Every structure is written in C-alpha cells, then in structure tokens.
Chain A
Amino acid sequence: MITEPYFQKAIVQSNQRLGSSYTLLKLKVPKKIDGLPGQFAMLRGDWKYSPLWARAFSLLRAGTTPSFLIKLVGEGTHRLANLRAGDAISINAPLGRPFSIPARGRRALLIAGGVGAAPLFFLLNHLVAKHHTAPLVLYGGRSLEDLPLAEKFSPQVELMIMTEDGSAGRKGLVTSFLDGILKDSESSSLYACGPIPMLKEVSRLSRQAGTPCEVSFETTMACGMGLCLGCAVPSSRGGYLYLCEEGPVVNAESLDWNRIA
C-alpha cells in the first residue's frame, strides 16, 4: 500500500564511499518510511541556499534506517557525499509510484545500468523476501567502478554482470544480451533503470517481444512532490506526464520515446 509522504529531519547514520564516484548514504529517521521498491525520497543537507533544491534518490532500503546509492555528479551530490555520521539532513518520503509486483509464477527480469541499480536492488530484495520466482538480474556499467552493488546481491539471485570495457563480467551492453533472453523466457516481466539510451533500447525490445516492462525514469526535479510541474516528460498520449507523481516508475509504453533526447 502506498503511504502518504512525510517531511522530517533525519540524522546521517553512515556515509560509505564506494570507489571514487559512489556513496552509500544511510539515515536514521524519527518516523519510519513505509516506502515500496521504486519510490523515492527528496534529500537535502542542512545548508542555507546552495544548492537550493533537495535531490531525488530512489530508495535502496526503506524503514527507520533508509539508505540511498548516490552517484557523485554535481554540487548537490558532492555535498551529500561529504555528510558525516551525526549530520542533519531533511528527507521527504516516500514519494512517487512504485514498481508493480509481478504475478506469482512470472519471472522478473531486472535490467540495471550503473546507479540505476538502486531501485532494482530494493525490488529484488522484496521479491526474494516474498519468495517470488527467482529473478534474473542484468547489471551493467562502463567499468567495474560503475557496479558498486555487485557484491551486495543475494546469492539466490541469478546475476549477469556486463561492462563496456570488459573490466568485469562479460564485455558489452546490458541490452545486447536482452534480445536472446527475452526469446528464451516466456511469462516474464521486465524492470529497468539506467541511462536513457539503455531504457530506450529495453523498451523497444520489450515491445517487440510483447513483454510487459516498467522503467524507473529520471529527470530534473525541483520539488519531487507535485507542486511545481517542472518534471514534465513527453507522454505517449501526447502532452506530458509529471514524473514525481505519475512516476518515477512508469510503464515503458506510457512514454513517447521519440520525443525523449
């Protein structure tokens, strides 16, 4: 069940650097976050004006010690990565629409690109805990550096690692193996999160194979809670959908990929 979001002050419990460009941020919140896989949080350190907005991150884990996988990209993520245990932070969560859980007997295929592994990792743990059919995970990135969660997957999961430079797993793109996998596996449901070119290809292949597909999409968000209408994404029905409330998880068919650069 989707619960109402709550805005609260939290404390950083730990902030663990994973390689040079990722950090695993764990918080301690006064009020438990009943978040579902695919939902997100808006996080902001206790700073005055810079950066002004909170930043959106998929929940890696919910509860009273929610955690987040953060890729260091700009000023906001660097400042968050520099927070230390005990520092104050505000959190607005849970926000947005979660993944839909596959029907019993349907196998989940999870396609993760880089930092896009975060929401899928949460989904995966949920499926394993609820004894769903063992999911298959395709996890890819540019190099080993971009697979910070690779060691953390449950051993019960069938995991395929791929890197563009061949530094880990097979060499290639996650999508290059998907076509064959989709042909061999009936009654599966696809879940994907990663860079836009990857999501475009996943959605094309899923449509071709007639496999239902949900993607966790990303765009600039100012508020994350349906106030500003800043996060417009081209909709396949014409016009736009607002990713913070109608996403971040959307059916791949609901986006107009031709209008997405």
Chain B
Amino acid sequence: MKPDRLTVHLGRLTLSNSVMTASGTAGYGDGLARYGDLASLGAFVTKGISLHPRQGNPPPRVVETPAGMLNAIGLANIGLDRFVSEKLPKLASMGVTVIANIFAESMEEFGLLAGRLSETPGISALEVNISCPNVSAGGMHFGQDPRCAALVTQTVRESAPHLPLIVKLSPEAPQIKEVAQAVEAAGADALCVMNTIRGLAIDIDTRRPRLANVFGGLSGPAIKPLALRFVHEVSRCVRIPVVGVGGISDWKDAAEFILAGASAVQVGTALLSNPLAPFQILEGLRDWVDRSHGPLSLLIGSMKP
C-alpha cells in the first residue's frame, strides 16, 4: 500500500484511509458496490455474521425519527458458510479491504466463528459486536460488564491470533471507560465507538410501539453529539486507536470525530439515503487534510481546549 496523508494504523491493521462503512448498513457489499468503488474506502465492514443463519425480527423493523431512525433488524444474516462461499469472493475480487463483523450467543460460538474466519483468506480484520441492542441473547449484555467484554475479546484473540481485532462498544454500558480499558488489556487492536442506543417510538392512534421489537437502536444525526462525547472520553482513557461512528453524514461530521480522538470513522445511516455518502466523505476528508498541510494522523484528537 502506497502510504499517503490519509493512511491510518489501527494496531496491526493499516488502512489506505480512515473511511469505512458501518456494520449492518450496507449488507455484504454487493448492493453498495453498484454505486461506488468499495476498494477506494479504508475498509468495508460487513453486516454482523453469526455461525448459523438468522431470520431476524418480525416487521416493522425500522422507523424514522427526528433526525434519525430506530432499527430492530435482529441481526438477520445469511450465516458464516454462505458469507464465506457467496459474498466474500465477490468482495475479494473487487480488491476490497474486508472487516468481518461477528456476533455470537456464547463464548464457544465466538471462538468457533473467529477460528473459521482466521483461516479464511480475504478478511483483513474482525470487528466484534458486543453491543447489539436488538437481540435478547448474545448482544449488548456482553458489552455491559468489563469482565465479560474482556473475556469475549480474549476468546476471539486466541481463536484468531493473526487477525487485527476491533471491539465495538455499547453506549449503554454503565461504565464505558472501564469496558474500554478491559477490552484493551484483553488484546484488542482498536475500539469502535459506538453502537446504537435503544429508543422507542409509539403510534398514538393504535397506542402500539412502532417496532414489532418494541425498542430499536437509534442512529443517525440525532446521536452524533453523544457519539462524539464517547469518542472523546474513550480515546483519552486507552492507548489503542478508536474508530468513531454515530450520525456521520458529511466530511465535516467526520472531521469532528477525528478532532475528538477517532483515528477512523464509519458511515452508516447516512448511506441509506445517499449511497455516495462514504465516497463523498472520503473526498472531503482528503481535501481537509490537504488544507491542513499535514498527515491525518496529526489531526487525531487535536481538538483545542
């Protein structure tokens, strides 16, 4: 990889630039690849993959809210085998840097998943979801408790020792800084801050919740200030890099996350209404870095007091 001003290091993972897709907002890449060159992004993060396929939650699964949305997809996915046989080869043939997002309902499953993916060519890193708000088992509860989060990290680390490891944190952990430090100590290469936060929307005519799952993860511009705060706090209490995510819609939002302490950013909800968003954000960041006359690395966490 030719180093340039946008090159970023996330522990052992080196990316050509800081812009990625956020897990669950662009499937396995084939849909988004119709609109832009996924290989031009720092990385493509897959929809969460589990050992076995999952149907997901009953509808309605999504609802629009002020400057945001709630989703309760329920981690619907095609499972590890089909991902590896059908989806990964397409991404690999396009030259995409693939980060596989994984989740499981038990430590054993996390180990099996990580082990299988570590033997699979074409995966650049793993992103571990310990923070999904929409499933009863295997989601957020792993991310609530520092010891539990560390155990998941350690399990994945040992099962896939050669793959760089990003752990995606929940904003709902009572002590997110403690979880972050525990995950760092357990061997994560980087942290992803943050997943969605649970919200509720009610139809006043039927008096029913708008989502079949009742609660859903809030995302979009509505959560940007919250995500920025967590990126700021977490990046100052750990030595490993932080990937910022939450409501990034344009390059200015991305720049705020870099200034707050993020080494890289993920774009999610914004690309649902504008599939060009991650590509446009990358161009904007490139211009911003060029105007600042230094590599992007010098801008990370450079917010002035």
Contact stretch, chosen from A48-56, A156-164, A165-173, A175-183: A48-56
- If A52-B69, A229-B27, A230-B73 touch, whether A223 touches B273 (CB-CB below 8 Å) is yes
Which residue of the partner chain A has the closest CB to B272? Answer: A223
Which residue of the partner chain A has the closest CB to B271? Answer: A227
Query: Does chain B have a CB within 8 A of A246?
Result: no
A179-236: which residues lie under 8 A (CB-CB) from chain B? 219-220, 222-223, 225-234
Query: Does chain A have a CB within 8 A of B60?
Result: yes
B69 CB contacts on chain A under 8 angstroms:
52-53, 222
A220 CB contacts on chain B under 8 angstroms:
59-60, 62-63
What is the bound-complex CA distance between A240 and B59, given in angstroms? 9
Query: Does chain B have a CB within 8 A of A5?
Result: yes
What is the bound-complex CA distance between A234 and B58, given in angstroms? 8
State how many angstroms separate the Cβ of B100 from the closest Cβ of chain A: 17
What is the bound-complex CA distance between A223 and B24, given in angstroms? 12
* B73:A228 contact, CB within 8 angstroms: yes
Query: Does chain A have a CB within 8 A of B16?
Result: no
What is the bound-complex CA distance between A226 and B25, given in angstroms? 9
* B76:A229 contact, CB within 8 angstroms: yes
Return the CB mask of B58-70 against A: 1 if under 8 Å, else 0. Answer: 1111111011110
What is the bound-complex CA distance between A117 and B35, given in angstroms? 30
Which residue of the partner chain A has the closest CB to B219? Answer: A52
- If A52-B67, A52-B68, A52-B269 touch, whether A229 touches B275 (CB-CB below 8 Å) is no
SS of A interface (majority):
loop
A231 CB contacts on chain B under 8 angstroms:
59, 61-62
* B35:A50 contact, CB within 8 angstroms: no
State how many angstroms separate the Cβ of B59 from the closest Cβ of chain A: 5
Q: Looking at the complex, which one of A4, A90, A227 makes contact with B26 (CB distance below 8 Å)? A: A227
* B59:A228 contact, CB within 8 angstroms: no
What is the bound-complex CA distance between A54 and B271, given in angstroms? 11
**A contacts, CB < 8 Å to B:** 4-5, 7, 42, 44, 49-54, 90, 92, 219-220, 222-223, 225-234, 239-240, 245
**B contacts, CB < 8 Å to A:** 24-27, 30-32, 34-35, 47, 55-64, 66-69, 71, 73, 76, 220-221, 249, 269, 271-276
6 A-B pairs with least C-beta separation: A230-B62, A226-B31, A223-B272, A49-B67, A239-B55, A222-B62
Query: 24 A-B pairs, CB-CB below 8 angstroms?
Result: A7-B275, A42-B273, A49-B220, A49-B249, A52-B67, A52-B221, A54-B273, A220-B59, A220-B63, A223-B273, A225-B31, A226-B30, A227-B26, A227-B27, A227-B31, A227-B32, A227-B272, A229-B47, A230-B61, A230-B62, A230-B73, A232-B76, A234-B59, A245-B31
